[in-house]
């Protein structure tokens, strides 16, 4: 009898707790917004909202909404007038004169040339310890000031009057104009910064000059921006509000999108791509990055170009992009990705050079390996392939391990590593074969090509080639664009013939964006998205 | 009792000091650093960064500076989020993690105990098997499976609760259930076996023999004694709920402190690693301390003056 009562009591408590969970239940249906509001997931908490200290694409994306540099990129990746209405570049490519338009800060102050000078010197001040200060090293005197060997006065940035900014470079650098669009070179309001050094940590004191204003910042949750009425082109801005979510987990963001709580998410979870890829809201944009494997050319047998080429020729890239990555990546048979403009004729550098510096041919690869002294893979030492622990990198590495085993008869060990250990081993050249995703710093093939200069800081393969070096020097030394491109094409041929790096595939940028949202620019590098012209239909 | 408390307090502080020292030198021994990046930064830039964060000084100097700050209650600035101090991160994140943790512990204790008692009273009947089966199932499903499962059913399919983020009571429900699942099951199993054992004791038989009603015996003698192992488990459970919240906070995008526990290590954010580790250690030491005191009050068998078996 008591047993029954006890049972009843237990059951009641159990049920109360279970149903108690339902007390808070209220239907929160995903509302499709009809107003001019976009809810976008940025994917991480910005490390800072001070443009001088920003580094990554996360921060750059927010900066692009809150600020405007001298120029701003359009949807065809061309620098267009931003705060600078026009500019003049001297014939020797050294002196840039920017004519600033009548623009205002969000607090109503005019944006002046002095603001730019002040901001750039602030970035270069060694005490600021800006990671990206080197973006300004093209300017005469900048590197000296930043490294403590020069003074602020010797940095060649002059505010000739309120509307004229004159910049002198230490050597011609065609990429400089485009760099003025990026976060490091964005202006900050001099009065605000001087008066309140912590101005960028809270929306209350925040002053920008971009299309949007910082309204709220809930750490690790959400940043809310509203239209900036003081933006010089406020008439072009159609969104009233931009909600930037800071959710790190791709699956979580995807669920939020599916339940109608987000309008725009990046990086569809791998297991969902196959289901989503034919839907209209699955939108693919170009990306200027490449997935590659570095070879340590200082280690045997990878010191032999024949071995390196045999490895590159004996894998099936189409199978990898089709079955592992799945989002429509392109197999890569060259170093520089698609999307860089070939000048002077408007063409694509990759199209002109072709994506076929080598072919996939298992038989030819086997004979190269035999020529190098390893017929049928016999006697080939067991190399290690390292990658940063990640589902996709592991699957790719396992596929390649199997392809090499079948096609060349060699065994490779896989070494997944924690991110920092992986970077440290890579920098110390403590590896045989190592993966990377490589992206550009600016919109010119040179950003890829100069990686392999002998002794270059990012040349972690130990490879060096005097002909390559002289071709790159030739390209950097000429003002003639067709000669420049020709030299770079030749250098790429040398590189692919020697194969210190094995290209795997060129990335694509896949996003889920609601069909009724238009006008968002998804650039191929640098930032995730520009919302200046976005609108809801 | 006062002597015992003093003794425990000193031991705890020494423990914290040891943890601080060990973690400090271990994290500096691991490869990488807060400013490592795949693309190499120019040496001047690294030098400026190291100078700003005093990483260019010898390790013993960094250690003594850090410990100095620690005694003033200053955990220093975060390297990864340069505008924020570790104190700020803890101040903002911990109340959120604590809310989640306390909610989960309350559910685990009430549901776990009820289920355990219910099973024990129906020993070897179908109710018992059902309860034990439920508990085993809950216990064996890890948080990173339970969380997406709950989201799929209650958010994606039924639309009852938001799938992620923080702010309202509704946001609390799914992460609390996900976090409570394991400990609930463990407490149920613990309570069941403890209850079964207690019910076989002589004093229960004595109580019944002297004519007390079965109900009174169970409530007055049975449950109170059976709770002792559950109380002992509260310490380790708090630890597992706190550290286990990492996965839950990540999946549900909750801006708590649990996530820093893991991400700070990936980022080699030295000050955050130290701050979070020490903060959690202090909490765990405090909880164990309180539980030991509660023990003394609850368990009539413990006599500090006599045997001193709980010392140390």
Beta bridge partners of B212: none
How do strand A383-388 and strand A517-518 relate by DSSP bridges?
unpaired
Q: How confident is the model at residue B224 (pLDDT cuts 50, 70, 90)?
A: confident
Task: Tell me the shortest Cα–Cα distance from A471 to chain B, in angstroms.
Answer: 23
- The CATH number for A113's domain is 3.40.190.10
Whether residue A344 is preceded by a cis peptide bond, meaning omega within 30 degrees of 0, is yes
pLDDT at A5 over 90: no
Residues A194 and A306 in one domain: no
Identify whether residues A295 and A212 lie together within a single domain.
no
Task: Quote the ipTM score.
Answer: 0.88
Range of the domain at A49: 44-246
Task: Give the Å distances, CA to CA, from B304 to B8, B229, B292.
Answer: 13, 19, 11
Is the separation of the CB atoms in B298 and B279 below 8 Å? no
Give the number of domains in chain A.
2
In percent, the amount of chain A with pLDDT more than 90 equals 81
Please tell me the predicted confidence (pLDDT) of residue B305. Answer: 58
Nearest 10 degrees: CA dihedral of A361, A364, A366, A367?
A: 180
Is pLDDT of A101 > 90? yes
The string of pLDDT tens digits covering residues B182-194 is: 899 999 999 999 9
Contact B37 A423 (CB under 8 A): yes
pLDDT at A185 over 70: yes
Query: Is there a single domain that holds both residue A241 and residue A300?
Result: no
Chain A CB within 8 Å of residue B215 CB: yes
Over residues A110-131, the pLDDT tens digits come to: 999 999 999 999 999 999 999 9
Query: Which CATH number characterizes residue A485's domain?
Result: 3.10.105.10
Residue B303 has pLDDT above 80, yes or no: no
Q: Is residue A30 part of a domain?
A: no
Could you tell me if A205 lies within 8 Å of chain B, comparing CB atoms?
A: no
Report the chain B residue with the minimal C-alpha distance to residue A13: B114
Rg (CA), chain B: 24
8 A C-beta contact, residue A329 and residue A507: yes
- Would residue A267 count as lying in a domain? no
Helices (H), chain B: 2-29, 43-52, 59-71, 86-121, 126-140, 143-150, 169-199, 202-209, 214-216, 224-251, 258-266, 270-298
Q: Find the length of chain B.
A: 312
Report the candidate in A121, A162, A159 with the shortest Cα–Cα distance to residue A142.
Answer: A121
pLDDT number for residue B216? 85
> DSSP letters of A162-221?
TTEEEEEBSS--TTHHHHTTSGGG----HHHHHH-TTGGGSTTT----SSEEEEEEETTT
**A365 vs A120: CA distance, rounded Å:** 52
Residue A515, domain member (yes or no): no
What is residue B192's predicted lDDT score, i.e. its pLDDT? 93
Structural element, H or E, at residue A447: helix A446-449
pLDDT of B222:
87
Residues A235 and A304 in one domain: no
Backbone φ and ψ of B84, nearest 5°: -125, 145
Examine residue A29 and state whether it is found in any structural domain, yes or no.
no
| Average pLDDT estimate for A44-63 | 94
Give the containing element (helix H, strand E) for A286. Answer: strand A282-295
**A230 contacts A68 by C-beta, under 8 angstroms:** no
> Are residue A495 and residue A351 in the same domain, yes or no?
yes
pLDDT of residue A9: 45
Does residue A461 form part of some domain?
A: yes
User: Who among B40, B82, B165 is closest to A458 (CB)?
Assistant: B40
Per-residue pLDDT tens over the stretch A260-310: 999 999 988 888 888 888 899 999 999 999 999 999 999 999 999 999 999
Which domain-ending residue is among A216, A246, A276?
A: A246
Query: What mean pLDDT comes out for the span A384-399?
Result: 93
Q: Are residues A396 and A317 in the same domain?
A: yes
A203 and A81 in a single domain? The answer is: yes
Subunit contact A127:B52, Cβ cutoff 8 A: yes
Q: Are A256 and A221 in contact (CB under 8 A)?
A: no
Binary contact (B163, A255; C-beta < 8 A): yes
pTM of the model: 0.88
- A359 and A491 together in one domain: yes
B22-38 pLDDT, tens digit per residue, is 999 999 999 889 988 88
Is the N-terminal amide bond of A301 cis, ω within 30° of 0?
yes
CB atoms inside a 10 Å sphere around CB A298: 11
pLDDT for position B252: 94
- For the segment B125-151, the average pLDDT, to the nearest whole number, is 88
- Position B297 scores a pLDDT of 76
Of how many residues is chain A composed? 537
d(CA A455, CA A429): 13
Average confidence score pLDDT of chain B: 88
End-to-end CA distance of chain A: 68
Q: Could you tell me if A90 and A187 lie in one domain?
A: yes
What pLDDT is stored for residue A19 in this prediction? 39
CB B182, CB B144: distance < 8 Å:
no
Which of the four pLDDT bands, split at 50, 70 and 90, describes residue A200? very high
On the question of pLDDT at A488 being above 90, the answer is yes
Residue pair A304/A372 in contact (Cβ under 8 Å)? The answer is yes
Q: Are residues A183 and A313 in the same domain?
A: no
SS3 content of chain A, % helix, strand, coil (to 5): 35, 20, 40
- Residue A201, domain member (yes or no): yes
- Average pLDDT estimate for B154-162: 93
- A336 part of a folded domain: yes
Say yes or no: A424 and A499 in one domain. yes
For A168, list phi and psi in degrees, rounded to 5: -110, 125
User: Which residues make Cβ contacts (< 8 Å) with residue A12, sequence separation at least 6?
Assistant: none
Specify the pLDDT at position B244: 67
In a shared domain, residues A242 and A291: no
Which of A246, A276, A306 is where one domain is finished? A246
Residue A165 β-bridge partners? A98, A159
Q: Which residues touch B113 (CB under 8 Å, ≥6 apart)?
A: B187, B188, B191, B227, B230
Asked whether residue A256 is assigned to any structural domain, the reply reads no
Residues in B 254-273 with any Cβ partner in A closer than 8 A: 255, 259, 266, 268
């Amino acid at each position: 009898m008591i047993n029954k009562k006890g049972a009843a009591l237990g059951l009641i408590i159990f049920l109360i707790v279970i149903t108690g969970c339902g007390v808070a239940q209220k239907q929160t249906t995903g509302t499709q917004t009809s107003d001019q509001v976009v809810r976008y997931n940025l994917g991480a908490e910005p490390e800072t909202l001070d443009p001088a200290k920003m580094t990554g694409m996360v921060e750059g994306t927010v900066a692009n909404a809150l600020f405007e540099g001298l120029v701003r990129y359009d949807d065809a990746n061309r620098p267009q007038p931003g705060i600078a209405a026009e500019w003049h570049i001297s014939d020797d490519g050294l002196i840039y004169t920017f004519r600033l338009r009548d623009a205002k800060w969000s607090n109503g102050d005019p944006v002046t040339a002095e603001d730019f000078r002040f901001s750039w010197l602030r970035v270069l001040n060694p005490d600021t310890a800006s990671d990206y200060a080197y973006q300004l090293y093209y300017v005469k005197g900048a590197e000296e000031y930043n490294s403590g060997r020069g003074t602020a006065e010797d940095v060649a940035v002059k505010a000739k009057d309120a509307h004229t900014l004159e910049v002198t470079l230490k050597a011609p650098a065609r990429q400089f104009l485009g760099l003025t669009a990026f976060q490091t070179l964005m202006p900050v309001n001099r009065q605000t910064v001087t008066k309140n050094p912590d101005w960028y940590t809270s929306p209350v004191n925040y002053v920008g000059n971009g299309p949007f204003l910082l309204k709220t910042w809930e750490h690790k949750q959400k940043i809310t921006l509203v239209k900036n009425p003081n933006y010089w082109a406020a008439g072009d801005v159609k969104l009233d509000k931009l909600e930037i979510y800071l959710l790190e987990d791709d699956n979580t963001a995807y669920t939020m999108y599916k339940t109608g709580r987000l309008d725009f998410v990046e990086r569809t979870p791998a297991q969902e791509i196959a289901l989503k890829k034919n839907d209209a809201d699955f939108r693919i944009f170009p990306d200027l990055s490449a997935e590659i494997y570095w070879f340590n050319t200082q280690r045997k047998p990878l010191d032999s170009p024949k071995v390196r080429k045999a490895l590159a020729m004996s894998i099936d890239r189409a199978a990898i992009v089709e079955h592992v990555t799945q989002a429509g990546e392109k197999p890569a048979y060259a170093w520089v990705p698609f999307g860089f403009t070939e000048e002077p004729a408007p063409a694509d550098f990759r199209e002109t050079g072709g994506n076929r510096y080598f072919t996939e041919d298992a038989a030819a690869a086997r004979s190269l390996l035999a020529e190098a002294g390893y017929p049928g893979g016999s006697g080939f030492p067991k190399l290690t392939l390292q990658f940063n622990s990640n589902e996709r990198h592991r699957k790719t590495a396992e596929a390649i391990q199997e392809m090499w085993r079948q096609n060349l008869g060699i065994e490779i060990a896989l070494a997944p590593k924690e991110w920092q250990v992986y970077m440290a081993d890579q920098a110390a050249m403590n590896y045989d074969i190592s993966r990377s995703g490589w992206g550009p710093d600016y919109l010119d093939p040179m950003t890829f090509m100069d990686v392999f200069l002998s002794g270059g800081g990012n040349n972690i393969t130990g490879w060096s080639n005097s002909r390559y070096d002289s071709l790159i020097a030739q390209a950097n030394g000429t003002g003639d664009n067709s000669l420049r491109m020709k030299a770079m094409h030749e250098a790429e041929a040398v590189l692919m013939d020697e194969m210190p790096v094995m290209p795997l595939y060129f990335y694509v940028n896949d996003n889920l964006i609601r069909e009724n949202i238009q006008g968002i620019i998804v650039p191929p590098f640098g930032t995730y998205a520009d919302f200046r012209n976005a609108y809801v239909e | 009792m006062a002597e015992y408390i003093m003794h425990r307090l000193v031991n705890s502080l020494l423990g914290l000091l040891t943890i601080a020292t060990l973690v400090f030198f271990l994290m500096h021994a691991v490869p990488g650093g807060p400013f490592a990046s795949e693309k190499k930064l120019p040496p001047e830039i690294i030098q400026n960064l190291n100078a700003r964060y005093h990483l260019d000084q010898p390790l013993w100097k960094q250690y003594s500076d850090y410990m100095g700050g620690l005694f003033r209650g200053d955990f220093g600035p975060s390297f990864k989020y340069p505008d924020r101090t570790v104190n700020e991160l803890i101040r903002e994140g911990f109340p959120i993690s604590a809310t989640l943790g306390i909610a989960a512990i309350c559910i685990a204790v009430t549901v776990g105990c009820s289920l355990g008692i219910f099973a024990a009273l129906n020993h070897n009947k179908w109710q018992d098997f059902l309860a034990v089966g439920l508990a085993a199932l809950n216990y064996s499903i890890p948080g990173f499976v339970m969380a997406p499962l709950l989201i799929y059913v209650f958010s994606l399919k039924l639309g009852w609760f938001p799938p992620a983020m923080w702010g309202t009571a509704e946001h609390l429900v799914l992460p609390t259930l996900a976090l409570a699942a394991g400990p609930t099951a463990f407490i149920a199993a613990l309570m069941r076996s403890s209850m079964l054992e207690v019910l076989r004791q002589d004093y229960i038989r004595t109580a019944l023999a002297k004519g007390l009603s079965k109900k009174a015996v169970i409530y007055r003698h049975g449950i109170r004694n059976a709770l002792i192992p559950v109380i002992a488990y509260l310490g380790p459970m708090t630890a597992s709920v706190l550290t286990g919240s990492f996965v839950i906070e990540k999946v549900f995008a909750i801006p708590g402190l649990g996530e820093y526990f893991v991400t700070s290590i990936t980022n080699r954010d030295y000050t955050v690693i130290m701050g979070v580790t020490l903060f959690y250690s202090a909490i765990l030491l405090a909880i164990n301390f309180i539980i030991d005191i509660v023990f003394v009050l609850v368990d009539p068998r413990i006599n500090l003056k006599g045997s001193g078996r709980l010392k140390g």
